[in-house]
Amino acid sequence: RPLLIGVTGGIGSGKTTVCRIFEAFGIPVYYADDRAKWLVDHDAILKADITRLLGPEAYGPTGYYDRSWVAAQVFGKPDLLLQLNALIHPRVYADTALWASDFSEKPYVIKEAALLRAAGEDGNNLDKLIVVQSPLELRIQRVHKRDPHRSEKEIKNIISRQISDEERIEMADYVIYNNETQLLIPQVIRLHEIFSRAQE
């Protein structure tokens, strides 16, 4: 199989932008947060497990996952949230592996998510982890510009609930700096060369 490289970073850090550059070099990207949302609606094993954990109300009358009902159930119950995540993560890992197996001709593929653990941790199948880092003020500005309905306060709240940059850097094998002085494309090219060579 190709190497599996994780790309993570806080909200507005630029992880999707970085992944678009990798895609321009022909590297497939698995957008795990979107894919996880699809899996809770469509993966039969996961649906059965979630129904067993939370009850049939987790799926509304149309059979679709009721995100706001589930959010209300797990609110203030960190143990239940952990149990829910423990159901979802292995299915996403399995789905990622299946997806990656389609790209045996590629030297590496990428998995993007807002939260990824260090390579190899918790049974994730990442070979390396890239963390995208941006200064806090710039992230707030960029997200506010992209999503004008989100206030600065709301964005700061999201950031305060995410893990810190220090914790992310601790887990990283590589860091991409997305600030106003360092260009993204040369940093991506450098990593593209490293990962392409690693499989030769």
- Cα–Cα separations (whole angstroms), residue 87 to 28, 50, 93, 121, 141: 26, 7, 11, 16, 35
Residue 156 neighbours by CB under 8 Å, 6+ apart = 140
Smallest separation (angstroms) from ligand ATP to the CB of 150: 9
14 binds ligand ATP (CB under 6 A): yes
Instruction: Reduce the DSSP state of residue 7 to 3 states and report it.
Output: strand
Asked if residue 13 belongs to a known ligand binding site, the reply is: yes
Restricted to residues 138-177, the positions that interact with ligand ATP (CB under 6 A) are 142-143, 146
The answer to whether residue 15 forms part of the interface with ligand ATP (CB under 6 A) is yes
Residue 81 binds to ligand ATP (criterion: CB under 6 A): no
**Shortest spacing between CB 186 and ligand ATP, in angstroms:** 12
When binding is defined by CB under 6 A, the residue of 3, 11, 136, 163 that contacts ligand ATP is 11
* Using rule CB under 6 A, residue 17 touches ligand ATP: yes
Q: Measured between alpha carbons, how far is 132 from 12 in angstroms, rounded to an integer? A: 10
d(CA 38, CA 171): 27
Shortest distance (Å) from residue 179 CB to ligand ATP: 8
What is the secondary structure of 111-125 as a DSSP string?
EE-S--PSTTGGG--
**Distance in angstroms (rounded) separating the CA atoms of residues 82 and 140:** 28
Count residues binding ligand ATP (CB under 6 A): 14
Q: Could you say whether residue 124 binds ligand ATP (CB under 6 A)?
A: no
Q: Is the dihedral of CA 186, 187, 193, 196 positive or negative?
A: negative
Which of 3, 16, 69, 85 touches ligand ATP (CB under 6 A)? 16
Query: Interface residues for ligand ATP in 99-118 (CB under 6 A)?
Result: 114
Give every CB contact of residue 95 below 8 A, 6+ residues apart in sequence.
35, 39, 43
Choose the binding region for ligand ATP from 6-14, 23-31, 47-55, 164-172 (rule: CB under 6 A).
6-14
Residues 157, 32, 137, CA angle at the centre, nearest 5°?
A: 30
Q: Please give the structure tokens belonging to residue 9.
A: 């970073």
Mark residues 175-194: x for contact with ligand ATP by CB under 6 A, - for none: ---x-----x----------
- Binding-site residue ranges for ATP: 12-17
List contacts with ligand ATP (CB under 6 A): 9, 11-17, 114, 142-143, 146, 178, 184
